[in-house]
């Protein structure tokens, strides 16, 4: 009988349970998706080094999921409080009709079980399908994994974690309900109604002053951070200024809204606008702090989602551009002990099946010489290089580098051909300056100023207007900060420091297989080969570099998306529940509107407008914050890579429409039921 009554209660009060159900379903879906990444077949197709980063990400997600579970637990309890408040009269009637408190508790347990079961089923179903998309997205975007064997898969471990986590949450809710029922008195339940809140109304003049100050604070914070960039030492102060401006904005917003009758009288007195604005004004006045916190949470969410998606493709593209060769081998020359050698010939001689793996390759000698950068002290001081004693020294207005790297023009152009880059001619008496991308702006100015260099007593002048900074190898530390590129005749006179062999593998050949062959040949004992000898001191492949650089960024991105979505759901749910509570408290106002002759359609529109304004106010300011933040992000990485904000913005808009829009619809749906139930129909 009690179970039948619980089922009827859920069916009858479906509007009241909408936001509660939506919160549970979104939470289950999100929890499953981010705890099942490692189990997807797309991840099984990754290489060993790629799986290492996925394992790291999975381990971190497990710890973060504990935090997420706590957040969702508090959120579900908060939502349950609204349901208990709405049903106090109903529970009081049960007691008045003779039902024991234990029977009421069993009804609530049955209702919690039913809602939880439906939410788990819906959330897990959505999570299973969404996890397939997330896995393919991850493998393709970050690791370029082979997806030919990908198929649909369910993660029993993730299902178990999700069910266990939300079972604990439901248990907490049940205990909360039992305690609430045991403590409530019959008189309190039967007389449950509207409890007036302290309005906290501030003077209109003070509110307007605070509103102007908040706008100025936010404007100053925007201009300041756009000027200094993301990694400025002043970032902490800028964040504090922005937070203060946000809080003051919502605390003073009621004063601005109260001034609307004078500013826009026609709009204010049109239809039910005056009623709507007074309702919103009253709610904003009492919930300014929570709206400020929600606005900042939404800002973090939008920035994490849009910025993460936008930069992920940029990082992946940039990583490929910075590593143009399939593999690079570096051999250090020790004059007298380790002479120069032809690395390709030596690899072939040692039994490496070179033609089975390599499409083309090119070797370059890295020379060393004493170089004087004439009148270049100012440019080098900008990056602090003369302070490194031994590497760069002050010499009057010039900079002396006793061990500067020098490259021959023909070998350097051969490397450029291997990477499908155009050749650059260096004539007699000319030089090119290769500069590490991180300092190309500072040291590149030295070259564009037309200043000369002196190499072993011979002076050279710039061969073109700009320096070069294209990668010389994949991953290996072949050049430190800069190198001078000279004509072959000048470079060949200089001692050799190292040999660099860049390799492009055949199409279809895996870089891991090539490395495995090298390791197998140069680790087995051979009579004709010295122990531990090999024709290279460093070897690295493009995929290993990309895994290392992108793997860490992937972890950070997924953490940002995970926590961002939690913040989004939390913000939307709290705003929705606040509006439902406000609607329940002010249901009498809508009844009075009908008595005064307002049409039912106008009343419903007024309710929707009130909820939409309240829910969208924090979102609107958060969108402005995010637009500035994304522009700062774009400017920060503009010199390193091109960031297209549009894909991230579109993806974020879709997520906001789904989750935030879903909560707005659910809140309006439930609120319509509240004002209808108070009509006595």
Distant-in-sequence, close-in-space partners of 453: CB < 8 Å, separation ≥ 6: 371, 372, 373, 374, 431, 433, 459, 460, 484
574-599: burial string, b at 16+ Cβ within 10 Å, e else: bbbbbbbbbbbbbbeebeebeeeebe
Q: Give the model's confidence band at 417: pLDDT under 50 very low, under 70 low, under 90 confident, else very high.
A: very high
Boundaries of every domain in the chain: 1-193, 342-534
Q: Which residue has the higher pLDDT, 240 or 189?
A: 240
Q: What pLDDT is recorded for position 387?
A: 58
Ranges 104-108, 160-164, 429-433, 662-666: which has the least confidence: 104-108
- C-alpha distances (whole Å) from 638 to each of 631, 644, 663 are 10, 10, 37
- 510: which 2 tokens? 């895996």
Overall pTM surpassing 0.85 (yes/no): no
Per residue in 104-128, pLDDT (tens digit) is: 778 878 887 888 888 899 989 988 8
Judge residue 390's burial from the number of C-beta atoms within 10 Å of its C-beta, 0-12 exposed, 13-18 middle, 19 or more buried.
Answer: exposed
Q: Are 214 and 248 in contact (CB under 8 A)?
A: yes
Per residue in 615-644, pLDDT (tens digit) is: 899 999 999 999 998 888 888 776 666 667
Q: What is the DSSP string of 93-150?
A: HHHHTT--HHHHHHHHHHHHHHHHHHHHHHHHHHHHHHHHHHHHHHIIIII----TT-
User: Does position 411 have pLDDT exceeding 80, yes or no?
Assistant: yes
Backbone angles phi, psi at 6, to 5 degrees: -65, -40
Taking the CA atoms of residue 588, residue 594, residue 595 and residue 597 in that order, the dihedral angle to the nearest 10 degrees is 150
User: Does position 201 have pLDDT exceeding 50, yes or no?
Assistant: no
Q: Are 544 and 328 in contact (CB under 8 A)?
A: no
Helix (H, G, I), strand (E, B) or coil at 405: strand
Per residue in 546-578, pLDDT (tens digit) is: 777 666 677 777 777 888 888 888 888 888 888
Q: Which residues pair with 372 in a beta bridge?
A: 400, 454
Q: What pLDDT is recorded for position 430?
A: 94
Helices then strands, each counted (H, E), the chain:
25, 10
* CA–CA dist 332, 179 (Å, integer): 75
User: Does position 490 have pLDDT exceeding 90, yes or no?
Assistant: yes
CB-based contacts of 577-581 (< 8 A; 24+ apart in sequence): 577/19, 577/78, 577/79, 577/82, 578/283, 578/287, 578/290, 578/614, 579/283, 579/610, 579/611, 579/614, 579/615, 579/667, 579/671, 580/19, 580/82, 580/667, 580/670, 580/671, 580/674, 581/82, 581/85
User: Does position 175 have pLDDT exceeding 60, yes or no?
Assistant: yes
Q: What pLDDT is recorded for position 308?
A: 76
Average pLDDT along the chain: 80
- 351: which 2 tokens? 């039994």
* CA–CA dist 470, 464 (Å, integer): 15
- CB count within 10 Å of CB 372 equals 22
User: Does position 199 have pLDDT exceeding 70, yes or no?
Assistant: no
């Amino acid at each position: 009988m009690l179970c039948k009554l619980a089922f009827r209660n859920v069916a009858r009060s479906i509007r009241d349970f909408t936001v509660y159900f939506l919160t549970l379903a979104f939470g289950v879906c999100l929890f499953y998706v981010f705890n099942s990444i490692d189990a997807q077949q797309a991840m099984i197709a990754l290489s060993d080094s790629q799986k290492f980063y996925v394992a790291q990400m999975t381990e971190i997600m497990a710890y973060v999921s504990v935090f997420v579970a706590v957040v969702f637990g508090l959120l579900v309890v908060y939502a349950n409080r609204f349901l208990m408040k709405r049903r106090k009269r109903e529970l009081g009637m049960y007691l008045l009709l003779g039902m024991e408190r234990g029977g009421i508790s069993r009804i609530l347990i049955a209702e919690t079980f039913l809602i939880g079961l439906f939410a788990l089923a819906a959330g897990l179903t959505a999570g299973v399908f969404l996890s397939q998309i997330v896995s393919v997205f991850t493998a393709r975007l970050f690791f370029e994994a082979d997806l030919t064997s990908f198929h649909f898969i369910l993660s029993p471990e993730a299902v178990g974690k999700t069910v266990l986590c939300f079972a604990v949450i439901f248990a907490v809710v049940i205990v909360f309900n039992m305690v609430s029922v045991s403590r409530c008195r019959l008189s309190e339940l039967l007389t449950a109604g509207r409890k007036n809140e302290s309005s906290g109304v501030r003077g209109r003049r003070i509110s307007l002053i605070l509103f102007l100050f908040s706008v100025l604070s936010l404007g100053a914070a925007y201009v300041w951070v756009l000027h200094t960039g993301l990694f400025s030492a002043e970032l902490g102060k800028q964040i504090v200024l922005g937070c203060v401006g946000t809080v003051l904005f919502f605390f003073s917003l009621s004063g601005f809204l109260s001034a609307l009758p004078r500013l826009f009288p026609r709009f204010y007195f049109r239809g039910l606008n005056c009623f709507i604005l007074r309702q919103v004004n009253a709610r904003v006045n009492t919930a300014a702090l929570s709206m400020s916190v929600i606005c900042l949470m939404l800002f973090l969410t939008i920035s994490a989602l849009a910025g993460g998606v936008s930069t992920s493709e940029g990082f992946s593209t940039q990583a490929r551009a910075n590593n143009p060769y399939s593999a690079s081998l570096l051999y250090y020359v020790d004059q007298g002990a380790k002479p120069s050698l032809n690395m390709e010939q030596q690899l072939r001689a040692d039994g490496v099946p070179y033609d089975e793996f390599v499409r083309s390759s090119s070797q370059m000698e890295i020379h060393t010489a004493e170089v004087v950068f004439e009148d270049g002290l100012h440019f080098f001081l900008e990056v602090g290089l003369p302070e490194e004693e031994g590497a760069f020294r002050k010499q009057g207005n010039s900079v002396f580098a006793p061990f500067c790297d020098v490259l021959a023009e023909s070998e350097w152009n051969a490397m450029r051909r291997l990477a499908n880059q155009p050749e650059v001619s260096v004539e007699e008496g000319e030089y090119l300056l290769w500069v590490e991308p991180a300092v190309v702006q500072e040291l590149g100015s030295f070259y564009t100023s037309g200043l000369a260099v002196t190499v072993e007593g011979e002076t050279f002048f710039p061969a073109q207007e700009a320096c070069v900074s294209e990668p010389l190898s994949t991953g290996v530390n072949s050049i430190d900060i800069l190198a001078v590129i000279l004509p072959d005749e000048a470079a060949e006179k200089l001692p050799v420091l190292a040999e660099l062999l860049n390799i492009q593998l055949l199409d279809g050949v895996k870089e891991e297989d090539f490395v495995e062959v090298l390791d197998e040949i140069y680790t087995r004992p051979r009579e004709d080969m010295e122990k531990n000898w090999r024709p290279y001191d460093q070897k690295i492949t493009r995929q290993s570099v990309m895994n290392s650089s992108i793997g860490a960024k992937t972890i950070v991105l997924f953490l940002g998306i995970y926590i961002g979505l939690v913040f989004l759901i939390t913000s939307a749910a709290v705003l929705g529940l606040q509006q439902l509570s406000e609607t329940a408290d002010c249901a009498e106002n809508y009844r009075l509107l009908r008595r005064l002759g307002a049409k039912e359609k106008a009343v419903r529109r007024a309710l929707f407008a009130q909820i939409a304004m309240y829910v969208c106010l924090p979102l609107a300011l958060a969108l402005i914050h995010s637009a500035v933040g994304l522009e700062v992000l774009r400017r920060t990485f503009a010199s390193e890579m091109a960031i297209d904000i549009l894909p991230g913005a579109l993806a974020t808009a879709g997520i906001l429409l789904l989750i935030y829009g879903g909560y707005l619809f659910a809140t309006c749906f439930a609120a319509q039921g509240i004002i209808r139930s108070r009509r006595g129909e």
